[in-house]
Structure 1
Amino acid sequence: MRRKTSVTKRAGETADGDNRRPLLTYIKGILASLNPTDRLIADCVLADPEKVLTSSIAQLKDASGASVGAIVAFCRRVGTAGFAEFKIALARDLAQSGLPGGQLENGSQLEKVFQVHAQSLIETVQVNPPAQFERIVQLIGKSRRVELFSIGQSYPVAYTAYCNFLLLGLQASAHFDSHMQLIAASQLEKGDVAIGISLSGTTRETVECLQVAKSKGAATICLTNAIKSPITEHSDYCLYATPSEIKYFQAPLASRVTQLALIDALFVSLALKHKSRTATKLQQSGEALLKRRLE
């Protein structure tokens, strides 16, 4: 329980508490968890952050349709003391990263999509504190067994993680069937690690598997694009992949590139921490696969 509390606190630390976690990125990450009034304010801020920066609280009230009290409460909810401090954090955010999506007005569709992915990768690095990532690497490296849970669009990410962990010699599995995933979760115990991957953080089957794994004593980790989503409530540690600016085809664009980048980062970090074991396993795998090559 102590670990979960610390994770929640870090998630609430935005530009004021952690300069690696930009304010606008954080707001985008918690959109799905906001109530209707907060969502009005958040949408107004994300639509034109520069305008909000030069607006009074009364002007933001008129633009968003929310009350002054609701705006102050929203500012506190995202980690700032009030509207004045919120604007300071917003100014710092814009100065450091520029307007999100600002380069998408011109250029081909190819350029637009790649620009979105590039920005999402940058934000993903910023939204995951290095110390938190290092703790996750250590936890997986010392685990007895790693079980991955995911369905739908996120399952290929889980399968990729399973393949990478297998190359490193870790005992890992990623069942495709949701019933088999639940059975696997029920058989975990202390010393095992359960990893749930969900774009929305609300996928019932994945959240349920983490909940069961946690009740059995396994350490739980989630990889999601939604901060403060239900999956984070059952996770000891969280990895966040930032959502895409593009609304159409949202699931593939928002999750695949940033989630896979985090999986690659885990793979490289684990490989470097266990160099001798990794070299041996990769050599064994390479020799076996070489026999499958066409002459």
Structure 2
Amino acid sequence: MKMRFVVAGAACLVLTGTATAAGPVPPVMNGAPGIAVAAGAHVVAVAKPGGGATQLRLVRDRGGAVVRTRVLPVNVGVPTVTFSGLVEGTWAKGRRLVLASSVYEDQVNTSFVVIDTRTLAPLRTVTLPGSFAYDAVSSDGRRLYVLQYPGGIQGGVRYVVRSVDLRTGKLEPGAIVDKTEPSERMSGVALARAWSRDGAWAYTLYNGGTSHAFVHALNTRTRIARCIDLPWAGEAQSVLDGVRLAVTATRVLTLTGRGGAVLARIDTRTFSVRA
């Protein structure tokens, strides 16, 4: 039977205590495999023994030769955006990459470092007071989107979406919320992500814990966000483990389960759901 759901801000209100034994967000990636960048290569970030520094390695995809290294005086890694291990953080056709510190290493300050992936040279360092995690970066590299955890990682999975102007390195004022339900709190654990074909919208599937699942749709160019309710709640959300997201040519976001069956289709123009 097909059921039709509409956008509702309640999808962003989840009262779970913790995401996993590890914490509310996946840790940054230190070590292989790293992240693909321009010119048939990938960047690997390796924390130096004792902390406080990171060695960057530019590695050729073919043959695995290390063609360049550089040490940064800060402990950072490649951003991981879902617990399935998806890494992100590049733009300009892979010529730019933002690295992030881990909320599990330092909850007093969070660092983000933009590098040139050809030279590994740092171009800008952003330091924010408090606990933040990477969420997305706009395709033009103007904005970095972050998840702010007001209570630190001890505060559970409640977060606030913020944006950073990468030209100034400053947080932009105000939280990014679904304006149809501006008072709703954001909370959940990221399971999967897909991008619109024009690179503007990031669609992230969240497990809502004791509430229900939802997709957070974020326009990285305009700071517009919508929360889209899904019909799975509580333990029934286990059906979403291993789900793949994809956007079709007709701008439909599909959720495909491990067995290949389409679990839901979301019209990204109206944000209506057919499950």
Q: TM-score, normalised by structure 1?
A: 0.24
Structure with the higher strand share, 1 or 2 = 2
Query: Which has the higher Rg, Structure 1 or Structure 2?
Result: 1
Q: TM-score, normalised by structure 2?
A: 0.25
Structure with the higher helix share, 1 or 2 = 1
